[in-house]
């Protein structure tokens, strides 16, 4: 099969005296194809930005769960461990003083030790309660957040690859995600009020 080089085929296109291509039918066909291609590229870009918004929301939510919620719970557990160690230390001190002789010198020490023991016992009990509550909420929140985010991620990916622009936008609305318009700055806090 004999192929023409692009240089030769371009030279054979009939051109009018003012430089326009004579075959208007082919020109219109190319214009339609280029227009269709441009529209397709714009739609792909828009859907890609929408999908990117959904993915960014997914990442931010999981990031918040991991770096804020879980981190806060771990911090509370560490505080609880420290409170337990302090409580055990003051309890041991009080037990040792109670086993020793009771005289004018030891009674004020026992009383002070009893006061410190009671204060650290209250702190320990409070931290134990805080840990219990945070672990319960973390478990509930973790399951709920991960479930919702995986549904969002799945629906957004499925809609994007199916080419279903409406479903992709509905997924964002379902999760109350608002995309930033490129080139538009967010309103200042004064404008929002």
Q: Give the ranges where the chain is alpha helix by DSSP (H).
A: 6-11, 24-64, 71-99, 106-162, 165-174, 189-192
Render pLDDT for 161-190 as a digit per residue (tens, 0 to 9).
888 888 888 888 888 787 765 555 555 545
Q: How far is the C-alpha of 58 from the C-alpha of 152, rounded, in Å?
A: 7
Q: Of 32, 51, 5, 45, which Cα lies nearest the Cα of 158? A: 51
Residue 3: what are its φ and ψ, rounded to 5°?
Answer: -100, 140
pLDDT at 5 over 70: no
Render pLDDT for 69-121 as a digit per residue (tens, 0 to 9).
899 999 999 999 999 999 999 999 999 999 988 888 889 999 999 999 999 99
pLDDT, residue 20, reads 58
pLDDT at 21 over 80: no
pLDDT at 3 over 80: no
Locus of tokens 């804020």: 68
Render pLDDT for 22-81 as a digit per residue (tens, 0 to 9).
556 666 778 888 888 888 888 888 888 888 888 888 898 889 888 988 999 999 999 999
pLDDT, residue 17, reads 59
- Is 82 or 141 the better-scoring residue by pLDDT? 82
Collapsing DSSP to helix, strand or coil, 143 comes out as helix
Beta strands in the chain, from DSSP E residues, in sequence order: none
Collapsing DSSP to helix, strand or coil, 21 comes out as strand
> For residue 27, what are its two tokens?
């020109």
Locus of tokens 């409580």: 87
pLDDT, residue 34, reads 86
Q: Which one-letter DSSP state was computed for residue 4?
A: P
pLDDT, residue 1, reads 45
pLDDT at 193 over 60: no
- Is 47 or 1 the better-scoring residue by pLDDT? 47
């Amino acid at each position: 099969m004999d192929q023409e080089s692009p240089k030769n085929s371009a030279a054979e296109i009939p051109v009018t005296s003012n430089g326009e291509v004579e075959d208007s039918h082919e020109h219109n066909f190319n214009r339609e194809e280029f227009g269709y291609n441009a529209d397709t590229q714009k739609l792909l870009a828009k859907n890609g930005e929408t999908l990117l918004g959904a993915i960014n929301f997914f990442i931010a939510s999981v990031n918040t769960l991991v770096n804020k919620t879980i981190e806060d719970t771990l911090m509370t557990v560490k505080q609880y461990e420290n409170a337990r160690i302090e409580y055990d230390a003051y309890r041991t001190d009080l037990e040792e003083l109670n086993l020793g002789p009771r005289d004018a010198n030891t009674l004020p020490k026992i009383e002070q030790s009893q006061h410190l023991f009671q204060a650290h016992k209250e702190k320990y009990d409070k931290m134990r309660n805080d840990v219990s509550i945070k672990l319960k909420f973390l478990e509930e929140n973790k399951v709920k957040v991960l479930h919702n985010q995986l549904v969002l991620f799945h629906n957004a990916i499925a809609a994007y690859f199916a080419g279903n622009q409406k479903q992709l936008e509905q997924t964002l609305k379902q999760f109350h995600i608002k995309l930033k318009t490129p080139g538009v700055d967010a309103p200042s806090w004064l404008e929002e009020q």
